[in-house]
A and B are shown apart, each in its own frame.
Chain A
Amino acid sequence: MTIATLPPPAPLPAEPPAERSNYLNVSYGVVSWLLTKDHKRIAILYLISVTAMFFLGGAAISIVRLHLITPQGALVSADTYNRLFTMHGVIMVFFFLVPVAPAVLGNFCLPLMIGAKDLAFPRINLLSWYLYVVGGAWTLYAMLTEGVDTGWTFYAPYSSQATHYNVVPTLIGLVLAGFSSLFTGLNFIVTTHWLRAPGLTWFRLPIFVWAMYATSFISLLAVPVLAMALILLMLERLLHIGIFDPALGGDPLLFQHLFWFYSHPAVYIMILPGMGIVSEVIPCFARKALFGYKFVACSSLAIAFLSFLVWAHHMFVAGITLYAALIFSCLSFLVAVPSAIKVFNWTATLYKGSIAFETPMLFCLGFVALFTSGGLTGLFLATLGVDMHVHDTYFVIAHFHFIMVGGMVMAYMGGLHFWWPKMTGRMYSQWWSRLAALIIFVGFFLTFLPQFVVGYNGMPRRYYQYVPEFQVWNVLSSAGASILAVGYLLPLGYLFYSLRYGPRTGDNPWGATGLEWQTSSPPPRDNFAVTPTVYRGPYEYDTGKAQNEP
């Protein structure tokens, strides 16, 4: 059996495409979209709203980076600066990174990957989009009128004392968005358990499904804690009863405990789907089965579990006791083990493969490089002796941007480019998209590598002005950020262009073996004409047989 250069033999559309019924043309009109319970349409709704949020958050940080070109601050006042970085953090974390992969790619692909007609609770799925939109609108209103300057971490007592800011409306928005991700998680867990196609055993599930399952698990158990912490903070602000404010008898560390009980696992809500995407893309373009499938699958669950045991490594110098610090440092190292397992397995998957460098693959290789760098620098932060120096400096900023932006956004772009033909039935420009991948990769390194140096030199985060000797690094970082901005704007152009002018693809342009590729592109409203039966694991690229081929 041979394969030629990509794209592999794609059957030219024999029939006029308009006659083929798919989820996009089954009904028309705004109402049919806004009331839909089709997971694919809800995914598209999310795609639009999440993209809008991404560019809003990006706009805020562009101003911040521009401002930091000179030590005194070039553009805005201190107050505006504080509102801008808060806006960036809140939007990017709660309205982009947390929902992006589950709500867009997970929503679209998960039922297709397990051979289901829809999620278990489609109405709840629609509800969670509305919660997202209302929460987002509410937060944006709060941000754009009076603004919030607490940072996305909302540390008490500052957040309960800062007088003239829209803290409460922002918190309401976040609680709503939290419930949105909670309901998505609930749907995914139930769907994965109950709606798998016949023959699709747990160890035949694609890693992306495992990752979604682990992600949902975290959402379900962590979001309620955050919601309650934020509600208590809100009540403290409104009623002036100190649950966290020491001036009123409260303990500010309780807020930090509750906040990080959610927000550390939330880091894995953000990155686990990325790991899932990469585990789909690399085997497909290397034409190899994923190396160590079971280890990769189980490490997803291990990450989900261990991520709950490490939250106080955000608090090593916050005034927790020595005992607590030692316990949490020790546990923090443990969570690095399953991540390391994944990286080694992805690398081993490439061995003796037949590697093609299509755009999704470029993004995913970029992901592995950036995620590895981010993960390794995470070890510095788990090490007590180093964390006590670099805590709350740009070193931390650089570290988590390597994970979340370098890692997650790269993986998301990889996933979006991988499944774009599936979602739209059209192919984007290979030349432009490869260029975008390259620009993002280079821009990213240029933006965030200098921040490690300036962080170890001692530049604290959230500074609107800084001492002159940090300038060279900040200028480099800002230069990188402008390249990065170009990289993020490019896909907006060519993907839009492809919607209308891109060539139609076949059902399976990449020759992938997963179930989602075995139906037409774009998929019909019911996903599969006949519920498929699964005979094999997800990555049998040596034979090229799809999961539903006997």
Chain B
Amino acid sequence: MSLRDTLFTPAEQTALFDHTFLARERLEEQYASLPHQSETAAFGMWVFLATEVMFFGTLFLAVGAYWCLDPQTIELASLELNWKIGSINTFVLLASSLMMVLAIHATQLNQQKQAYRYLLITAGLGICFLGFKAVEYYIDYRENLIPGFKFDDAEWIARGVDASRIGYVKIFLFLYWVMTGFHALHVTIGIIAVSVMAVLTRRGRYSREYYSPLDVTGLYWHFVDVVWIFLFPTLYLLGTHTL
């Protein structure tokens, strides 16, 4: 007798598990076949990513609007960001994207052990990214780059920003925190998802015939990478030509 049977009467079980959120079938009833379900899931993920594009796009729009209003000040503000750590992090994320795609590749070839290893490296590189990000945030903190919390107008006047334009510096840095913050949040969610996929892959849940969750996680992970690809020049490289 299963735990389920000891805990609930048959009537309760119907109420609880049949057709509810808790029901667990691999092939859901609305689909004709597993491939049908997988294709739909992948498409769903693409559509979701389109909404994410608009989500981040709004922030890029804001940066662009203030850049239109005052390019010079935005460049000065951008110069204070750490483009070196930014570049390293670009490498890290790109490499993790490769690992993710290799994991899917291995699953397509039914090499679950390989896939498991690649997934672990993917998650590891993700954690590595967050580590660098933390270091960068710490340096920003030391350098008083947190508007509203730790920020010094005088330093910026010394850097040649007009006193009346410090608002733009604050806005740019604020957008920097919001954008990288939301991105880091996405990376964190991605790391969790990749780790779960690693565990499930190790348990042999996925094979050439069915690896839809892995595929969908991959799409999400690559998307996080794409966002970073645009974040990097938009935030870090605006002012480096003045060096």
Binds A, one of B49-57, B97-105, B129-137, B201-209: B49-57
Taking a contact as CB atoms closer than 8 A, the residue among B19, B44, B148 that contacts A120 in the complex is B44
4 A-B pairs with the lowest CB-CB distances in the bound complex, closest first:
A249-B167, A224-B55, A32-B15, A228-B58
Please report the C-alpha to C-alpha distance between residue A231 and residue B62 in the assembled complex, in whole angstroms. 13
Taking a contact as CB atoms closer than 8 A, the residue among A31, A224, A525 that contacts B54 in the complex is A224
Please report the C-alpha to C-alpha distance between residue A225 and residue B171 in the assembled complex, in whole angstroms. 18
Q: Tell me, yes or no, whether A193 is within 8 Å of chain B by CB.
A: yes
Binds B, one of A133-141, A236-244, A327-335, A435-443: A236-244
Q: Tell me, yes or no, whether A119 is within 8 Å of chain B by CB.
A: yes
Please report the C-alpha to C-alpha distance between residue A116 and residue B167 in the assembled complex, in whole angstroms. 54
CB distance from A188 to the nearest CB of B (A): 10
Q: Tell me, yes or no, whether B213 is within 8 Å of chain A by CB.
A: no
Binds A, one of B21-29, B82-90, B107-115: B21-29
Contact with B along A6-35 (1 / 0, CB 8 A): 000000000000000000001111011001
Q: Tell me, yes or no, whether B230 is within 8 Å of chain A by CB.
A: no
Assuming A31-B16, A126-B21, A194-B43, is B29 touching A186 (CB within 8 A)? no
Contact with B along A344-365 (1 / 0, CB 8 A): 0000000000000000000000
Query: Which of A38, A182, A242 has the most chain B CB atoms inside 10 A of its CB?
Result: A242
Q: Tell me, yes or no, whether B229 is within 8 Å of chain A by CB.
A: no
Residues of A within 8 A of B52 (CB): 224
Q: Tell me, yes or no, whether B138 is within 8 Å of chain A by CB.
A: no
Residues of A with Cβ closer than 8 Å to B? 26-29, 31-32, 35-38, 111, 116-123, 126, 182, 186, 189-190, 193-195, 220-225, 227-229, 231-232, 235, 239-243, 248-251, 254, 258, 525-526
Query: Is the beta-carbon distance between B20 and A32 smaller than 8 angstroms?
Result: yes
Please report the C-alpha to C-alpha distance between residue A26 and residue B69 in the assembled complex, in whole angstroms. 62
Query: Is the beta-carbon distance between B19 and A248 smaller than 8 angstroms?
Result: no
Taking a contact as CB atoms closer than 8 A, the residue among B55, B62, B167, B174 that contacts A254 in the complex is B62
Query: Is the beta-carbon distance between B43 and A193 smaller than 8 angstroms?
Result: yes
CB distance from B61 to the nearest CB of A (A): 8
Query: Is the beta-carbon distance between A251 and B170 smaller than 8 angstroms?
Result: no
Residues of A within 8 A of B29 (CB): 117-118, 526
Contact with A along B162-197 (1 / 0, CB 8 A): 000111101100110010000000000000000000
Taking a contact as CB atoms closer than 8 A, the residue among B21, B47, B148 that contacts A240 in the complex is B148
Taking a contact as CB atoms closer than 8 A, the residue among A229, A242, A250 that contacts B58 in the complex is A229
CB distance from A494 to the nearest CB of B (A): 31
Q: Tell me, yes or no, whether B80 is within 8 Å of chain A by CB.
A: no
Query: Is the beta-carbon distance between B23 and A37 smaller than 8 angstroms?
Result: yes
Residues of B within 8 A of A235 (CB): 174, 178
Query: Is the beta-carbon distance between A254 and B65 smaller than 8 angstroms?
Result: yes
Query: Is the beta-carbon distance between B168 and A35 smaller than 8 angstroms?
Result: no
Residues of A within 8 A of B54 (CB): 220-222, 224-225
CB distance from A529 to the nearest CB of B (A): 13
Residues of B within 8 A of A117 (CB): 29-30
Query: Is the beta-carbon distance between B171 and A249 smaller than 8 angstroms?
Result: yes
Query: Is the beta-carbon distance between B44 and A116 smaller than 8 angstroms?
Result: no
Assuming A224-B55, A241-B171, A249-B168, is B21 touching A36 (CB within 8 A)? yes
Q: Which chain B residues in 142-175 approach chain A with CB under 8 Å?
A: 147-149, 165-168, 170-171, 174-175
Query: Is the beta-carbon distance between A225 and B58 smaller than 8 angstroms?
Result: yes
Query: Is the beta-carbon distance between B48 and A186 smaller than 8 angstroms?
Result: yes
Query: Is the beta-carbon distance between A239 and B40 smaller than 8 angstroms?
Result: no
Taking a contact as CB atoms closer than 8 A, the residue among B44, B50, B65, B174 that contacts A241 in the complex is B174
Taking a contact as CB atoms closer than 8 A, the residue among B30, B31, B50, B62 that contacts A221 in the complex is B50
Residues of B within 8 A of A28 (CB): 15
Residues of B within 8 A of A122 (CB): 28, 30
Residues of B with Cβ closer than 8 Å to A? 12, 14-16, 18-23, 28-31, 36, 39-40, 43-44, 47-48, 50-52, 54-55, 57-59, 61-62, 65-66, 69, 147-149, 165-168, 170-171, 174-175, 178
Chain A residue nearest in CB terms to B53: A224
Q: A38-B19, A249-B170 provided; 4 other pairs, C-beta below 8 A? A: A37-B21, A228-B58, A231-B178, A243-B175
Assuming A186-B44, A190-B40, A248-B170, is B58 touching A27 (CB within 8 A)? no
Residues of A within 8 A of B31 (CB): 195
Assuming A37-B19, A189-B47, A239-B148, is B171 touching A258 (CB within 8 A)? no
Please report the C-alpha to C-alpha distance between residue A234 and residue B47 in the assembled complex, in whole angstroms. 27
Query: Is the beta-carbon distance between A243 and B30 smaller than 8 angstroms?
Result: no
Query: Is the beta-carbon distance between B148 and A241 smaller than 8 angstroms?
Result: yes
Query: Is the beta-carbon distance between A118 and B30 smaller than 8 angstroms?
Result: yes
CB distance from B141 to the nearest CB of A (A): 15
Query: Is the beta-carbon distance between B174 and A190 smaller than 8 angstroms?
Result: no
Query: Is the beta-carbon distance between A190 and B43 smaller than 8 angstroms?
Result: yes
Please report the C-alpha to C-alpha distance between residue A291 and residue B100 in the assembled complex, in whole angstroms. 52
Residues of B within 8 A of A229 (CB): 58
Please report the C-alpha to C-alpha distance between residue A39 and residue B148 in the assembled complex, in whole angstroms. 46
Residues of B within 8 A of A26 (CB): 18-19
Residues of A within 8 A of B14 (CB): 27, 32
Assuming A37-B20, A224-B51, is B171 touching A120 (CB within 8 A)? no
Query: Is the beta-carbon distance between B175 and A27 smaller than 8 angstroms?
Result: no
User: What are 13 A-B interface contacts by the 8 Å CB criterion?
Assistant: A26-B19, A31-B16, A116-B30, A186-B48, A190-B47, A195-B30, A195-B31, A195-B40, A228-B58, A232-B62, A239-B148, A239-B149, A243-B171
Residues of B within 8 A of A189 (CB): 47
Please report the C-alpha to C-alpha distance between residue A14 and residue B92 in the assembled complex, in whole angstroms. 69
Residues of B within 8 A of A249 (CB): 165-168, 170-171
Query: Is the beta-carbon distance between A186 and B51 smaller than 8 angstroms?
Result: yes
CB distance from B12 to the nearest CB of A (A): 8
Query: Is the beta-carbon distance between A194 and B20 smaller than 8 angstroms?
Result: no
Chain A residue nearest in CB terms to B58: A228
Chain B residue nearest in CB terms to A194: B40
Chain A residue nearest in CB terms to B43: A190
CB distance from A326 to the nearest CB of B (A): 19
Chain B residue nearest in CB terms to A242: B167
Please report the C-alpha to C-alpha distance between residue A251 and residue B67 in the assembled complex, in whole angstroms. 12
Please report the C-alpha to C-alpha distance between residue A116 and residue B50 in the assembled complex, in whole angstroms. 25
Please report the C-alpha to C-alpha distance between residue A258 and residue B23 in the assembled complex, in whole angstroms. 41
Query: Is the beta-carbon distance between B44 and A258 smaller than 8 angstroms?
Result: no
Please report the C-alpha to C-alpha distance between residue A190 and residue B39 in the assembled complex, in whole angstroms. 10
CB distance from A34 to the nearest CB of B (A): 9
Residues of A within 8 A of B36 (CB): 194
CB distance from A76 to the nearest CB of B (A): 37
Please report the C-alpha to C-alpha distance between residue A530 and residue B61 in the assembled complex, in whole angstroms. 50
Assuming A224-B58, A239-B149, A240-B148, is B15 touching A31 (CB within 8 A)? yes
Query: Is the beta-carbon distance between B51 and A223 smaller than 8 angstroms?
Result: yes
CB distance from A432 to the nearest CB of B (A): 35
Chain B residue nearest in CB terms to A123: B21
Taking a contact as CB atoms closer than 8 A, the residue among A228, A241, A243 that contacts B55 in the complex is A228
Chain B residue nearest in CB terms to A254: B65
Please report the C-alpha to C-alpha distance between residue A118 and residue B32 in the assembled complex, in whole angstroms. 12
